[in-house]
Amino acid sequence: MARVVPETRDEILAAAARRFAATGYRGTSLQDIARDVGCSKAAVLYHFANKDAILTALMAPAIAVLQALDDRIVAAAGPADAQCVAAEGFVDLAVRFRREIALLRGEFPELLQQPAFAHIQAISERLIGAFAGRSDRPSARIAALVVLAGIAETCGEFVDVPDEELRPALLALVRRALEPVD
C-alpha cells in the first residue's frame, strides 16, 4: 500500500482534532494521527516538531482571542465593567471555540504545564477575578470559578446548538450565578 504525503498541515490538524476529541490528548499518539491522515509518522514530524506543537497550532486562534479578552479585562474601568467584559467575552470565546475547548476536557490542568500554555494560568486568574467583580470574598470567587469551569467543561456538549441560541442561554446563566458587584 502506497503512503500518501499530506498536502497540508491542515489535514494533520484536522486528524489530530478528531483524535484528541475521541481519545484525549494523552490518549493520542503521533502514529495515530499519521495513520488517520494516511502518511508516516515522519511526515507528521516534517510539519510539526511534536504532538505539543500540533496542540499549540490547534489552540492558537482560541488563545489569541483569550489574550485579547484579557487585555480588555485589564483595561476595564472598574469591577462591574470587568465582570461584564469577562462574562460576555468568555461566553463569546466558549461559543466560538467550543470544539477546540472540548478537545481539552479533563486534561486542561495538565496541559497548562506545557511551556506554550504557561501564560494561560495568569489569564485564568485574572478572568476569575473579573468574574468575581474583583472581589476577594470567597463566595464571589467560588461562583466565578464554578461558572468559568462549568462553561469550559460543558461547552463540548452543545456542539449542535446554534450560536444564536447558545450564547443568550449561557449569558443568562452567568448573570444568575455571579454575585452582583457592589
76-113 pLDDT, tens digit each: 999 999 999 999 999 999 999 988 887 776 677 777 77
For residue 83, which of 142, 136, 139, 144 has the smallest C-alpha distance?
Answer: 144
Residues with Cβ within 8 Å of 56's Cβ and at least 6 positions away in sequence, in order, are: 116, 117
Span 128-144, average pLDDT: 95
pLDDT at 67 over 90: yes
Q: How many angstroms separate the CA atoms of 5 and 35, rounded?
A: 11
Residues with Cβ within 8 Å of 25's Cβ and at least 6 positions away in sequence, in order, are: 51, 55, 103, 104, 107, 111
Task: Say whether both 74 and 164 belong to one domain.
Answer: yes
Task: Answer yes or no: is 54 within a domain.
Answer: no
Average pLDDT, the chain: 88
Q: Give Dmax (Cα) for the chain.
A: 68
Computed on alpha carbons and rounded to an integer, the radius of gyration of the chain in Å comes to 18
pLDDT at 5 over 70: no
What is the total count of domains within the chain? 2
| Local confidence band at 132 (pLDDT 50, 70, 90 cut-offs) | very high
| Domain extent for 153 | 59-177
